[in-house]
Amino acid sequence: MKQDRETPVQVAIVQYLEVTQPAWIVHHCKMEINKRGKAIQIEIAKAKRKGSKVGFPDLLVLPWAHIGPLFLEVKAEGNYASTAQKDMHKQLRKLGYKVAVVRSIEDVQETLAGWGIAAKFHGARPLAEKAGGGA
């Protein structure tokens, strides 16, 4: 059986975001189907009817509304996004969303900083709001 190396990375990232940004919503977009044979085909068809999209990123992060949604694809070191995932990332970016492939908490920190988010926001509210100003 193949060892799941991505789950521990994703759990660490979710915990990091929940601790450092407690007001943000971090949602795992579950795409795994733990079935075999005909049962998996039934589950895939049901998931598609309910709106599941192949290649959708693992984490949907909802920070403050003026920042907009962020999408994080979690990969273990040495693993890469599939063609379907790359296509979905491209489609999301065309729509103006921020998407990143991350492999560690450090990747998340660098990604947020690159998007201009980490330096401005920390904790339960934007720093500017804590000081009494607007964000």
Q: Give per-residue pLDDT as tens, 26-48.
A: 999 877 666 677 887 887 788 88
pLDDT at residue 53 in the model: 85
Burial of 46 from C-beta contacts in 10 A (0-12 / 13-18 / 19+):
exposed
- Please identify, in words, the CATH class of the domain defined by 6-130: alpha beta
Q: What is the pLDDT of residues 54-108, one digit of tens each?
A: 899 999 999 999 999 999 999 999 999 999 999 999 999 999 999 999 999 999 9
Domain positions in the chain: 6-130
Does the pLDDT at position 132 exceed 80? Answer: no
pLDDT at residue 1, rounded to an integer: 56
Q: For the whole model, what pTM was predicted?
A: 0.80
- pLDDT for 125: 45
- Specify the range with the lowest mean pLDDT, choosing from 8-22, 57-71, 113-127: 113-127
